[in-house]
Amino acid sequence: MNSTVVAISILVAAGAIVGAYQLGQQGGREAASDEVQAEAPHAAQMPPVQSANPSNSTQVAAAHADMASGKPRFSHFRVGNRNVKSMYADGRYIWVGTSGG
């Protein structure tokens, strides 16, 4: 192959890469603007605000009776440099899933 064909091939490949990059950037901006519009609901679509119900507060207080006694059941643990990914309540136990397993 002569050097002219190699140079033209490199220019065509570089042009294709730049074109693909530009199309990707334009598509990303359009998708981001669609998401912003989709996330802002109108006031008519918002659910009505419910006032505080005093009967709910007694249920919450009964559920946390051990906290009222001054002896809450709490275990402090360290997960190191791991992120907590999920928590699963299994009866009286809580399982904590971290990024470390």
Q: Is residue 86 part of a domain?
A: no
Q: Is residue 85 part of a domain?
A: no
- Residues 87 and 83: their CA atoms lie apart, in Å, by 12
Q: What is the pTM of this model?
A: 0.30
Cα–Cα separations (whole angstroms), residue 18 to 14, 15, 29, 78: 6, 5, 17, 48
Average pLDDT over residues 47-58: 57
- Residues 87 and 97: their CA atoms lie apart, in Å, by 6
Which pLDDT score, from 0 to 100, does residue 94 have?
Answer: 81
Q: Is residue 59 part of a domain?
A: no
Which of 25-29, 59-63, 93-97 is most confident? 93-97
Cα–Cα separations (whole angstroms), residue 70 to 44, 53, 56: 45, 26, 22
Give the domain range for residue 34: 1-41
Our count of domains for the chain comes to: 1
Q: Is residue 73 part of a domain?
A: no
- Fill in the DSSP letter of residue 46: S
User: Is pLDDT at 65 greater than 70 in this prediction?
Assistant: no
